[in-house]
Structure 1
Amino acid sequence: MKEKCLLCLMFLFVCKSNQIGLTVSPSRSQFFERESVTLKCEDHSSAGWTLRRNTSRGTRTQCEEWGSADGLSCRISYIYPADSGVYWCESRGGGASSISVNISVSGGSVILQSPVLPVMEGHDLTLSCQSQTPPSKPSAAFYKDGSLIRTEPTGHMTLQHVSRSDEGLYKCHISAHGESPSSWISVSEKPRTTSTPSSSSTTTPPHLHVWLPVGLGVLVLLVLLVLLVRRSVLRKSEADGSNEITYSDVNISRRPQQPIRRSTGRLFFHSFSNLFIPFWGCWSLSQPLVGEGRGHSGQANSLLQDYNHKPTHIQT
């Protein structure tokens, strides 16, 4: 239980420490004697912060004792080797603090220009050896933990893709000018991702389980829509086909009317004969008798008798 509480307190301390940052201007860890330096606590919260240091002159001393305080910044107008030490920002209640930086002041003529803040793992690190008086030959030798790394004719050395093994004390030396103080260079761990896929062939993308059901649903809707459109088209074509009138239909519908045409002709013939025969009979009676027998008069009387006694049939 105590271990869990201790871990929680350490976690809260780290979170609070990340809320404040310390900047150094000029941004380097080594300075020549009598240079001016400005340190600033970058605070984005409403809490009060103060700048403290540990040096050979004292521990946990505040900016008012060795510099000029101006809000969250502290200025050292003339820095001396006795000002070499560790600097950090601390809350007024003492519950949280920023990352600490090491500042070295050289009493000689050579310094090592190195980052004042830790270098992130995987990044490049550039070191420069600088003399207070420009040397005729800028060639410089670089050392780590007392061992020679290499000599650079330009006075600059770059370490590519640094790792935790590159942490240590670095210094440089310029011939005929002297050696710089040693500075500790830290390498911070690279942030890790929350999830690392083991294999692209066996791992499903995290968004696939969301889009797969959506894609299947859209596909089903498209299939149903196609079937409905096809069914509607078929029904429309069947309805249009039932309303068409073909030549054979016209012939079949007109065939029962053909007897009506023939019966109409007969009706016209009988009507004409009904009008013509009486007229013709009257004309025959007015003619003189010629020859023997009934003559034309007899024929007319016979026709009239036949006409009167013969029934007339009209087909419809």
Structure 2
Amino acid sequence: MKTFPTSAVWCFGILFISVSLITTVLLSTLVYCSLGQGGASLSVSPDRSQFFEYESVSLSCEVQGNSAGWRVVRNTERGILSECKTTWGELKGSSCIVSLIPSDSGVYWCESGSGKHSNAVNITVPAGAVILESPALPVTEGDSVTLRCRYQGTLSNHTAVFYKDGSLIRTETTGEMTIPAVSKSDEGLYKCTNSSSEGESPESWMTVTARGSTPSSSPPKALPSPLSPPLSVCLWVGGCSLHLSDHSTGPVLQEEQRCSC
């Protein structure tokens, strides 16, 4: 039994996990960890985490001080790490404009030439006909938040059913639901389904922060994988001790004070 301490550094690593569940599943997940904010934040416009194919999103790095050298980078579901205007995206001023297709689904963040990083945001472009419009960036306690269930680019013409953490919370004939004043208890995984046969949206995480607080650059939640069986794995990656726990809602990366393997 060996115990690894947490190291207060930024780190990147590739995690390969072989799990036997009838057949062996190979998961290749890029993970990174941080113990501090890099002085920058990723701005997303429009502020939502799910998009239909060919919709556009604008990503920009809001930097305290000199913004030179900061760039938007991503890690896709295919495990490909790259920056804007390499094989994807178009730079317009300080913004990266992306006309989205399903292969653009992934984790996006800002990175400086000196190795500093911003917060990370999941963006999902499903192949299905239903998406959930929910904030990609953290929302503040007390603010009003509206979640919309969209079908092929429009609000659903049928009753939408909303779920939080896998449990039904509301049914709305308008296709949208409003939380007048969000609280920490509203934080969680949301999805919606259409009352007709269009299907359901992917799940998206909504983060709620206390008023006046600064969102931390904590490790991003990995993208849910339909091939991922429930697992709990201890790992040591590039100087950080992490614990990867895969629940029914998808894998979640958590930084642990100690992790024994």
Give how far 1:65 is off: 3.1
Structure 1 residues 122, 51: closer, same or farther in 2, change over 3 A? same
Give how far 1:6 is off: 5.1
Corresponding position: 1:143 with 2:163: yes
Output the amino acid matched with 2:91: A
Corresponding position: 1:117 with 2:140: no
Task: State the match for 2:94 in structure 1.
Answer: 72
CA distance in 1, matches of 2:156, 2:140: 35
CA distance in 2, matches of 1:140, 1:178: 10
Corresponding position: 1:31 with 2:51: yes
CA distance in 1, matches of 2:96, 2:124: 17
Which structure has more helix as a fraction of its residues? 1
Gaps of 5+ in 2: 10-32, 214-261
DSSP-derived class of the 2:125 partner: strand
Output the amino acid matched with 2:36: F
Give how far 1:142 is off: 0.2
Output the amino acid matched with 2:203: S
Gaps of 5+ in 1: 193-316
Give how far 1:42 is off: 2.5
Structure 1 residues 187, 84: closer, same or farther in 2, change over 3 A? same
CA RMSD of aligned residues (A): 2.8
CA distance in 2, matches of 1:22, 1:178: 31
DSSP-derived class of the 1:82 partner: helix
Corresponding position: 1:50 with 2:71: yes
Give how far 1:173 is off: 0.9
Structure 1 residues 24, 134: closer, same or farther in 2, change over 3 A? closer
Give how far 1:169 is off: 1.0
Task: State the match for 2:12 in structure 1.
Answer: none
Give how far 1:12 is off: 9.0
Structure 1 residues 183, 136: closer, same or farther in 2, change over 3 A? closer
DSSP-derived class of the 1:37 partner: strand
Select the residue among 183, 186, 190 that pairs with 2:204: 183
Structure 1 residues 134, 119: closer, same or farther in 2, change over 3 A? closer
Give the TM-score taking structure 1 as reference length: 0.52
Give how far 1:116 is off: 1.6
> Do 1:42 and 1:72's aligned partners in 2 also have CA atoms closer than 8 Å?
no
Structure 1 residues 135, 162: closer, same or farther in 2, change over 3 A? closer
Give how far 1:55 is off: 1.3
Give the TM-score taking structure 2 as reference length: 0.62
DSSP-derived class of the 1:165 partner: helix
Identity across aligned pairs (percent)? 54
Structure 1 residues 112, 33: closer, same or farther in 2, change over 3 A? same
Corresponding position: 1:164 with 2:184: yes
DSSP-derived class of the 1:92 partner: coil
Structure 2 counterparts to residues 171-210 of structure 1, below 5 A: 171-176=191-196, 177-191=198-212
Structure with higher Rg: it is 1
Structure 2 counterparts to residues 1-316 of structure 1, below 5 A: 13-14=36-37, 16-17=38-39, 20-43=40-63, 45-46=65-66, 47-63=68-84, 64-77=86-99, 79-94=100-115, 96-132=116-152, 137-176=157-196, 177-191=198-212
Output the amino acid matched with 1:68: E
Which structure has more strand as a fraction of its residues? 2
Output the amino acid matched with 2:55: E
DSSP-derived class of the 2:36 partner: helix
Q: How many residues align?
A: 182
Q: What per-residue deviation string (whole Å, max 9, x for no partner) do you get for residues 3-53 of structure 1?
A: 9x959xx99933x43xx2322223221100122222111335224201111
